[in-house]
């Protein structure tokens, strides 16, 4: 096993725990999602040996290849976090436990229709564009309620919450603003859809974890901080 992964994963866990403590939140209030895109299956295996069970992937074929190589590692929860085209929904619905970037009705509908019988409902988050023009993907805050009520009514997906990838900023205070908007959007959805299991704010990456945790992140998505920089 590479000591590198052991060290960086331990550091990432410490960093998350410290951010939670500083925000006055419980130590288990946020899940560490290890974003393993572009990294080999062996690195996932190392993190798995250290107890990591949630992994995020962006590219379907790469993810399917790694899942096949890791067939002897039971209990992994696979999260699809990349942009999702409609011709990929069938494989994603079959091979993942979570999809974080749902941003239109057609994708939500297809994921529900194509979720195989015998698997539990697919957990989904709606990606929201909280930075205005700065990022292209994600539903606008204005259109979010309509998409959320549609997704909440689908039988084979569970609408768990919201996800965002804000425009990068180095100022910790400025980083918090889009996360605050996302948290507020989740609160209003909870009032509008009281029966939906809306417990998830997927926000915060290697560069802005602390800001996201301060605003209530329940899943932080860390790639670089765990697996090192990507090509
Ligand atoms: C790559 C990626 C991450 C991880 O980013 P890091 O900056 O490497 O931590 C998180 N979320 C999404 C959606 C990504 O595509």
Q: What is the per-residue pLDDT across 182-201, written as a single tens digit (0 to 9) for each? A: 999 999 999 999 999 999 99
Q: How far is CA 156 from CA 30, 108, 128, 225, in A?
A: 25, 10, 21, 34
The CATH code belonging to domain 5-227 is 3.20.20.10
Atom of ligand 1 nearest to the CA of 207: 7
Pocket test for ligand 1, best of 169, 221, 225, 228 (most atoms within 8 A of CB): 221
**Residue 224 alpha carbon, nearest atom of ligand 1:** 8
Q: How far does the centroid of ligand 1 lie from the alpha carbon of residue 50, in Å?
A: 21
The yes-or-no verdict on residue 218 having pLDDT over 70 is: yes
pLDDT of 123-179, one tens digit each? 999 999 998 765 678 999 999 999 999 999 999 999 999 999 999 999 999 999 999
49-80 tens-digit pLDDT: 999 999 999 999 999 999 999 999 999 999 99
Structure confidence at residue 207 as a pLDDT band (50, 70, 90): very high
pLDDT at 134: 59
Q: Return the residue whose CA atom lies nearest to atom 5 of ligand 1.
A: 223
Q: Which residues line ligand 1 (CB under 6 A)?
A: 35, 37, 58, 81, 165, 205-207, 221-225
User: What does the mean pLDDT of the chain come to?
Assistant: 96
What are the boundaries of each domain within the chain?
Answer: 5-227
Q: Residue 231 has what pLDDT?
A: 85
Q: How many CB atoms lie within 10 A of CB 54?
A: 18
Ligand 1 atom having least distance to the Cα of 81: 13
The model carries a pTM of 0.97
Q: Which residues pair with 35 in a beta bridge?
A: 56
Query: Other C-beta atoms within 10 Å of 21: how many?
Result: 12
Separation of CA 194 and ligand 1 centre (Å) = 30
- The first and second tokens of residue 229, run together, are 């920089």
3-state secondary structure the chain: CCHHHHHHHHHHHHHHHHHHHHCCCCCCCCEEEEECCCCCHHHHHHHHHCCCCEEEECCHHHHHHHHHHCCCCCCCEEEECCCCCHHHHHHHHHHCCEEEEECCHHHHHHHHHHCCCCCCCEEEEEEECCCHHHCCCCECCCCHHHHHHHHHCCCCEEEEEEECCCCCCCCHHHHHHHHHHHHHHHHHHHHHCCCCCCCEEECCCCCCHHHHHHCCCCEEEECHHHHCCCC
Which atom in ligand 1 lies closest to the alpha carbon of residue 33?
A: 10
């Amino acid at each position: 096993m590479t000591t590198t992964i052991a060290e960086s994963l331990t550091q990432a866990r410490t960093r998350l725990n410290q951010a939670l403590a500083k925000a006055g939140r419980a130590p288990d209030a946020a899940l560490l999602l290890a974003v393993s895109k572009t990294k080999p299956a062996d690195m996932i295996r190392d993190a798995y040996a250290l107890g990591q069970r949630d992994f995020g992937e962006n590219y379907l074929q790469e993810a399917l290849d790694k899942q096949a190589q890791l067939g002897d590692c039971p209990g992994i929860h696979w999260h699809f976090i990349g942009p999702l085209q409609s011709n990929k929904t069938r494989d994603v619905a079959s091979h993942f436990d979570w999809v974080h970037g749902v941003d239109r009705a057609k994708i939500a509908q297809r994921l529900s229709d194509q979720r195989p019988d015998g698997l539990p409902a697919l957990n989904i988050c709606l990606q929201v564009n909280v930075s205005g023009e700065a990022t292209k993907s994600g539903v606008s805050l204005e259109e979010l309620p309509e998409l959320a009520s549609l997704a909440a009514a689908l039988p084979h997906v569970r609408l768990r919450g919201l996800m965002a990838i804000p425009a990068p900023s180095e100022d910790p205070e400025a980083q918090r603003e889009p996360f605050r908007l996302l948290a507020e959007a989740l609160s209003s959805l909870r009032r509008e859809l009281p029966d939906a299991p809306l417990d998830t704010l997927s926000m915060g990456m290697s560069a802005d974890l602390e800001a996201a945790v301060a605003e209530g992140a329940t899943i932080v998505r860390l790639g670089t901080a765990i697996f090192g920089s990507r090509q």
